[in-house]
Structure 1
Amino acid sequence: MASTQVLLLQLLLVSLASASHYFGATTTFTYKGRNPDGTFKVDFQNRDTFDGCQYSHQWSCYNGDCGTDVEYHRGVLDRSTNAPRYNNQWCETETVLTKHVPSNKPFEMRANSCCWIPAHNDVYWRLLTHVDLGTRSDTGEPNRSPDVAILPFLRVPENCPRSYRLMAFDPDGDTVRCRYGNTVDSECSACYQPSGFFLDEDSCTLHYRYANADPSVYGFELVVEDFPRYPITLAYSDGSFSSKSPLTVERNRQTSTPDPWTTMSAATTISQWWYWGQSTPTTPNTPPHATTPPLSKLPLQFSFLVDPPAPSCQEGEYLPMFVNPTPQHGDHIHAEVNKEVEIRVKARATYSTLHDIIMSGPTNISKHRSTHDEFVIRWTAAPEDLGEHYAICFAVESFTGSGIYQSEMRCVVVDVTKEQVYGDVTVNAMVNSIVSEEETKNAMTAHDDTASKLSDPTNTACSLKRHSNSTHVIAVIPLNACGTQLEEDDDNLIFKNEITTVDDHSDLITRKHLLEVEFYCQYPKRGNVTLGFTAHRKSVTVWEKGFGTFTYQFEFFHTNHFRTMMDPNSYPLEYDVGSRIYIDIEASSSINNTELFVESCWAAPYDNPNYRPTYPIIENGCEVDETVEIYSPDHQAQFKFSMEAFKFIGLHDQVYISCSVLMCEAGNPNTRCSQGCINSTQSGGHHHHNRKREAVIQSASHFVSQGPLRLRRAAESLLNPDQTNLNLNLNLVFIAGCLLAAVGMISAVVMYKAKMSKVKYEPLPAFET
């Protein structure tokens, strides 16, 4: 019996360990107005972090009337594989739950389950949210909760003390306080308070002092509360009232700053000599507690991992250090509805490699890494976000060997407001330029001694006076001039510039920076072409740094003289299998002394660069198809060749021909163009290509294609009557043969069944079964 109990206990422990997947969560609520039926509309923003993106919390009503759930939306905020070694990843999601509650009286909701990822505290977790929508006597509006944010998974080397400041904004201007949960089974499970940490409740600052490195995390179960700065009353829809008082505690505590933003993260690393040379606060056995009830109560739970010691705690060496243009902790960033806001983050680390940025923020937030080694966080406010405030937290991670290092955590505030009063700005992205039109509304014309300029106005083509008038500043800006900057991420090419209004007394400096209007055009690097595309493809125009603008033209010709081009209106072109196809690829460039090189060409039944498999025609500059014949070009930016038409096996009756081409500095022996045909078995070619591209002596490879070519089937060929009769007779013979074969097969089956029916079956003896 004892062994059975031990086995059951072991199975339970294994089950709990396998289910350990919880990293933490936060919750806030927002009043969204009154419904026609008199109920109150409330949105809950629940951010949950697990070791997979498929999990979320299940909330239940804990106290009061919590109303009914009417709608919810769920999305992934961020994920990372830099998780503790016993978890594959962490993933933070946000579920926006809309509820209709019958009154604005207080109520409480709770979520609880199992299990934390292996942590020093209890395996279970508890979350409690206290909601009070009473109408405040000081604002005349329903009470609103603080908006809190923190990264769900923090890590720090064992030997590097650091401070983390929580970002908690209260839109009512209330005092915000953070504390450990102290009510078992509602605010927390075991209400564990990790050693080696000190929580300053009034400033919401968590100080890491020292703890032994351990693969288990410290699970923090905090509670965020808000208190009015002056005595107020809350009025409810049933005619009742309640009184709320400022925060008081059992012992004197440092008062919060009057700024409604209280902070808990970002961290400047505290050097070891400072830490060991100064006295440090200690956590009292019985922390003081508020003697007045709060307006709201929000859960704040996260995981904290203490890593093995770092070789150095100096920021910028192993631990990434933020540099310009990264915003400071607590900065406010203006956002407008339906306009994308951009937060640029840059860090450096001398002895480790930057890996990724982790973040937490509102739904639909995204992150990108640019070619300037910057991280870009982007978010677009929806109409329902107007008037709201959202905290966004971020940190940069780096690695060296098996060590993973996190920068300080910074948080900023995005304020969603209406359009600025200066006027409308319209930006159109053209093929070779950006057209920006701004309605001034006296913003730029209020001072006679001011002027509007682009980033680089030295070129006369960049003057804003050429197209502007008395009411609008109009700029037609080339993509490669006037100070336009090119940035690139995984998905887009981004061209940026800005119009700046300054005093008109100097061309170099200004001390009257009145207005800056930044704008950009974004060009996607990838796109899908529908498989039903059957029209002639137009020329491809490309702009590239160091080569300016150049255009590729891909055409088919009637003969090897390459004088008469196939009519674009005649596509799809029709060929007989085995007939010769004449192809001409040319490039025209605004830069002289350039030459064209065709790296590879291939054929496919669809005009899709990702279609596989394809038939190779030219590879690495070498002829692969045995029927290819290359002709002498008329100039350096031309490539002429021909091949015999063929048909793909199967039902495909059309062919597209695609090529990978690039431009080089003519005559330069270090370019890919000068190398010509390179056997694919040679090593190092690809690395050589990248190194030369960085020297701006050759362009990137570009994709060009043309088609379709339609291969005539035999039934469509023009045959003489005798040949047609012969084909008909052969078909009749073939059909008759098939019928005879079918009759023979049926007869054989009948005879076989008749024979098998005479076979008798007997059971096997017992010893043979």
Structure 2
Amino acid sequence: MAFTLVLLLQLLLVSLASASHHMGGTATYTYRGKTPDGKYIVDFHNRDTYDRCSYSHYWSCYQGQCGLKANTQRGIIDNSTNAPSNEKLWCETETVDTRYVPSDKPFQMRAASCCWITARNAFASNWRLLTSVDLGTRSDTQEPNRSPDIATLPVLRVPQNCPRTYKLTTFDPDGDKVRCHYGKIKNTDCGTCDQPSGFHLNPDSCTLQYYNASSDYRSYVFEMVVEDFPRGHITLQYSDGSQSSKSPALTTAAPTATAAPTATAAPTTPASLSKLPLHFSFLVDKPVPSCQPGHYLPKFVSPTPENGAHIHAKVDMEVEIRVRAQSSLSKIQDIIFSGPLNTTNHRTTHNDFVITWTPTSDHLGNHYVICFAVESVSGAYVYQSDMRCVVVDVGKKQVEANVICSQSTMRVEIEKSSFPRLSEDDLRLTDPSNIVCSLKTHSNSTHVIGIIPLNSCGTQIEEDEEFLKFKNEITTFDNNSNNNLITRTNLLEVQFYCQYPKRGNVTQSFTAHRNATTVWEKGFGKFTYQFEFFPNVQFQTMIDPHYYPLEYDLGSRIYMQIKATSSLNNTELFVESCSAAPYDNPNYMPAYPIIQNGCKVDSTVIIHSPDHQRQFKFSMEAFKFIGLHDQVYISCSVLMCQAGEPNTRCSQGCMAMNQGSNRRKRETVGQTSSHLVSQGPLRMRRSAERAESPVMNLNLNLVFIAGCLVAAVGMISGVAVYKAKISRVKYQPLATFED
């Protein structure tokens, strides 16, 4: 008995501790169909925010027949140490409860306890979250009502002197009218039922406007209710033969513009289809010297999606939302977000934030809101950008494909039965100019197959702290178009990438020596570019490819030659630009410029006299990239011209940036497109190393390659069936968009 009493007291203390740190919460539900014995399957998505990650709401049946819980999933969505100054942390978690409900009649679930965090308008106050569900069959859709998808960030903050407008995302999958208002029934759908001054809530647009309030270390707490109403008069039919009527919502009159309006409750409205709680905390910080976005407050820039944008996703394919922000007078520190369970984020070395989520078959046909904001710091002050929310629409997967990642290529295989109206003749990679990038080369009667080098075909490189990602895509193009730059029939777009861990400098395992590049162009036929290194200024014998990676001492001279071979005698070679990068990809940014617009940029570059006009010889002093990168790859943009033509890029030579180079224009047939050639790696010998023979260096490199290859990780988007073809290859999808 004594043990039982002690246990009950401990449980009570845990409950009180949990309840006394509440910072907000939301709830939505999804109807999932019926069980074999006729019960209604409903998923409840309950998010809660506390000052630690171990707490969560406890929901119970408040009214009606709520059924029994069949399954529960719980996980952390996001957390941050930039909480109000009297709190150490905020943490948002989501619990997904699957319930089997015996009836389609209305019922209510509620979570209730004490207390809110120390707040300006809810000191030691209770909190109440109420969810009202009605599973009656709608006369307009012939399905039970689907709740709005609501979301906001759990903790919002703004400087005292910076008015700001927040559009609370309330997307309704049935197309219903969604309205928001403050909780009105004390101890039922709200605890304090307070309407903070200095704010205005527009119920019809669910827009919250902050005008002015004094700064305080304590937050305001908002207890709102979200309801959906049909656009016209409908009935709900129940399995017992009864029915109910639902009418459109009344519209609230707009406030006058004579002064900043105060918050007002919504007028009496007809009965809604559902009611959902939307609770969050709002902190007013000290004034900031400038409210201009991009100064102290982070400003979103491209490719950040617009607020309210819809992102199409497929089952088992990773959704990727890229977020970029700038602030000139503060330092970008972090991103905070709210989204469905298993949403994650990471920061790239280019300081982009990438939010990712992979929907499962349970999410098919539904819609999910992901909200985010970027935070910056200046000293002890934290500044938050405006809030943006996007809606992820989960549809069916349509493309059967897989990807295989090797040390130097990505092999993509797509079943032709996935797109019966298209063939490899209608598809292309990002840059198909190189013959090796043609999808016709390896395709067969059943599959479109592409074998894509990591440093060609328009492959883009991206990195974060742990991985290198090589990305490309397959798209449709118009055969009847005059060029391959545009399409007006976007029937297919498959994005994919291979991902490699950076640990152990795995990039040295990529192909050491690049073979000659063969190109075909109208008017010039087939021609080949060969990029090689030479041991000295005589340029007599190129360095044997077996000796790669080549080793140089810092400051020693590197001799390079690019040579074009063509069946046409009256042609000449022109090198537009050359740059160096620490990875074997010409698209890596930032790259170190060597030659730009035909002009020498690096001060150590010497251009040597060629033997003929289809040859380019140059040299420069060896260098290394600052940091952990010991290797250097050289990439050049080259083209061919008809010799002696006055208006070609070759005849123009070195052109400064302000001279208006026309190298991108193809107004004359006297020149080809630009092509990329690359070579490497060059390894910079450390001062403590002895100069070993090239053969010994090669052998050591091969041993290193063998040890690194087992770590490759592959990823593809637009994939319906993933089949691992090599050991330890892991597939994850990117967003795919199809018409």
TM-score (norm 2): 0.66
Distance 1:589 1:359, change over 3 A: farther
Answer whether contact 2:230 2:249 (CA < 8 A) is retained. Answer: yes
Q: What CA distance in whole angstroms lies between the structure 1 residues aligned with 2:51 and 2:76?
A: 13
Which residue does the alignment assign to 2:438?
463
1:589 Cα deviation after fit:
6.1
Q: Cα deviations across residues 389-410 of structure 1 (Å, max 9, x unaligned)?
A: 1111111111111111111111
In the other structure, the counterpart of 1:22 is 22
- Superposition pairs of residues 57-206 of structure 1, within 5 angstroms: 57-122=57-122, 123-206=125-208
Query: Partners in 2 of 1:202 and 1:132 — Cα distance?
Result: 22
Q: Tell me: CA distance 1:513–1:280, structure 2 relative to 1, closer, same or farther (3 Å).
A: farther
Of 308-317 and 199-208, the range deviating more from structure 2: 308-317
Offset from partner CA, 1:35-57 (integer Å, 9 cap, x none): 22322221110000111110001
For 1:698-709, what aligned pairs fall within 5 Å after superposition?
none
Is the alpha carbon distance of 1:296 and 1:475 closer, same or farther for their aligned partners in structure 2, counting shifts above 3 Å?
A: same
Instruction: State which of 660, 685, 688 in structure 2 corresponds to 1:673.
Output: 685
**Counterpart amino acid of residue 222 in structure 1:** M
Tell me whether 1:428 sits opposite 2:440 in the alignment: no
Distance change (3 Å), C-alpha of 1:510 and 1:288: closer
1:382 alignment counterpart: 360
Q: In 2, are the aligned partners of 1:593 and 1:665 still within 8 Å (CA)?
A: no
Shift of 1:374: 1.0
> 1:495 offset after TM fit, Å?
1.0
Tell me the distance in 1 between the aligned counterparts of 2:453 and 2:148.
46
Q: Of residues 400, 407, 413 in structure 1, which corresponds to 2:391?
A: 413
Structure 2 CA distance, aligned partners of 1:704 and 1:661?
20
User: Match of 1:498, as an amino acid?
Assistant: E
Q: Which amino acid aligns with 1:676?
A: A
Q: Which residue of the partner structure matches residue 227 of structure 1?
A: 229
1:541–1:549 CA contact under 8 A, matched in 2: no
Q: Is the 8 A contact 2:337 2:372 kept in 1?
A: yes
Please tell me whether the aligned partners of residues 182 and 224 of structure 2 are also in contact (alpha carbons under 8 angstroms).
Answer: yes
Q: Is there any run of 5+ residues in structure 1 with no aligned partner, and where? A: 1-14, 255-274, 528-539, 551-586, 597-659, 679-698, 707-769
Give the secondary-structure state (helix, strand or coil) at the position aligned to 2:271. coil
Unaligned ranges ≥5, structure 2: 1-14, 516-544, 555-627, 635-681, 691-700, 709-739
1:283-333, Cα deviation, whole Å (9 max, x unpaired)? 26x634233111100000000111111121111111111111111111111
Aligned to 2:665: none
Over residues 245-292 of structure 1, what are the superposed CA-to-partner deviations in whole Å (9 max), with x where a residue is unaligned? Answer: 11126x6569xxxxxxxxxxxxxxxxxxxx9xx7454126x6342331
Aligned partner letter, 1:52: R
Shift of 1:436: 1.1
C-alpha distance in 1 between matches for 2:212 and 2:96:
37
TM-score (norm 1): 0.64
Distance in 2 of aligned mates of 1:590 and 1:526: 21
* SS of aligned partner of 2:477: strand
Q: Please tell me the residue identity of whatever aligns with 1:173.
A: G
Q: Give 1:18 deviation, angstroms.
A: 10
Note the alpha carbon deviations across 1:138-168, whole angstroms, 9 max, x for none.
Answer: 1111122111111101111111111100111
Deviation at 1:472, TM superposition (A): 3.7
2:269 and 2:495 mapped to 1: Cα distance? 50
Query: Which amino acid is 2:438 matched to?
Result: S
Encode CA deviations 1:30-88: one digit per residue, 9 max, x unaligned: 11221223222211100001111100011122111222222211011111111111111
Separation in 2, partners of 1:81, 1:373: 20
Match of 1:758 in 2: none
Identity percentage over the alignment?
54
Cα distance change, pair 447–253 in 1 and its aligned pair in 2 (3 A):
farther
Which is worse superposed, 305-314 or 294-303? Answer: 305-314
Extract structure 1 runs of 4+ deviating beyond 6 A.
15-19, 544-550, 702-706
Matches within 5 A, 1:119-518: 119-122=119-122, 123-248=125-250, 252=253, 279-283=258-262, 287-420=265-398, 423-441=399-417, 451-469=426-444, 472-504=447-479, 505-507=481-483, 509-512=485-488, 514=490, 515-518=492-495
Q: Structure 2: how far apart are the matches of 1:98 and 1:595? A: 65
2:181–2:224 CA contact under 8 A, matched in 1: yes
- 1:40–1:510 CA distance, 2 compared to 1 (3 A): closer
Cα deviations by residue, 1:633-659 (Å, 9 ceiling, x for unpaired): xxxxxxxxxxxxxxxxxxxxxxxxxxx
- Judged with a 3 Å threshold, the aligned counterparts in structure 2 of structure 1 residues 431 and 232 are, in CA distance, closer, same or farther, namely same
- Whether the 8 Å contact between 1:109 and 1:129 is mirrored in structure 2 is yes
C-alpha distance in 2 between matches for 1:189 and 1:442: 54
Distance 1:17 1:383, change over 3 A: closer
Question: How far off is 1:468 after superposition?
Answer: 2.7
Q: Which has the higher contact order (CA 8 A, sep 6+)?
A: 2
> Which deviates further from its counterpart, 155-164 or 17-26?
17-26
Q: Which deviations, in whole Å up to 9, do the C-alpha atoms of 1:536-570 show, x marking residues without a partner?
A: xxxx97448997789xxxxxxxxxxxxxxxxxxxx
SS of 2:371's equivalent? strand
Stretch deviating more after TM superposition (402-411 or 492-501): 492-501
Task: Please tell me the residue identity of whatever aligns with 1:56.
Answer: S
Amino acid across the alignment from 2:498: C
Change (3 A) 1:52 1:508: same
Q: Aligned-pair distance for 1:98?
A: 1.4
Which secondary structure does the structure 2 equivalent of 1:384 belong to? Answer: helix
Question: Partners of 1:589 and 1:83 in 2: how far apart?
Answer: 56
Q: Distance between the aligned counterparts of 1:128 and 1:371, measured in 2?
A: 43
* CA distance in structure 2 between the partners assigned to 1:166 and 1:548 by the alignment: 55
Over residues 733-767 of structure 1, what are the superposed CA-to-partner deviations in whole Å (9 max), with x where a residue is unaligned? Answer: xxxxxxxxxxxxxxxxxxxxxxxxxxxxxxxxxxx
Q: Note the aligned Cα RMSD (angstroms).
A: 3.4
- Supply the AA of the counterpart residue of 2:470: F
**1:346 Cα deviation (Å)?**
1.1
* Corresponding residue for residue 602 of structure 2: none
Q: Secondary structure at the match of 2:457?
A: coil
For 1:431 and 1:545, the matched residues in 2 are separated by 5
Query: Contact 1:542 / 1:549 at 8 angstroms: preserved in 2?
Result: no
Partner SS, residue 476 of structure 1: strand
* Inter-partner Cα distance in structure 2 for 1:549 and 1:211: 64
Whether contact under 8 Å (1:432, 1:543) holds in the other structure is no
* Residue in structure 2 matched with residue 696 of structure 1 by the alignment: none
SS at match of 1:461: helix
**How many residues are matched?**
529
- Inter-partner Cα distance in structure 2 for 1:73 and 1:121: 33
Query: Does the aligned pair in 2 maintain the 1:108–1:129 contact within 8 Å?
Result: yes
SS in 2 for 1:142: coil
| Structure label with greater radius of gyration | 1
Q: CA deviation at 1:704?
A: 9.4
Match of 1:503, SS state, is coil
| TM superposition shift of 1:102 | 1.7
In the alignment, is the contact (CA less than 8 A) between 1:217 and 1:305 conserved in 2? Answer: yes
Given the superposition, is the C-alpha separation of residues 156 and 675 from structure 1 closer, same or farther in structure 2, using an over 3 Å criterion? Answer: same
Letter in 2 for 1:83: A
Q: Tell me, what secondary structure is at the counterpart of 1:675?
A: coil
Q: How many angstroms does 1:510 deviate by?
A: 2.1
User: How far apart are 1:522 and its partner, in Å?
Assistant: 2.0
Kept in 1: contact 2:19–2:113 (CA 8 A): no
User: How far off its partner does 1:373 sit?
Assistant: 1.6
> 2:294–2:327: 8 Å Cα contact kept in structure 1?
yes
Q: Deviations over 1:93-133 (max 9, x none)?
A: 00001112221111112111122222112232111111111
Distance 2:177 2:444 in 1: 51
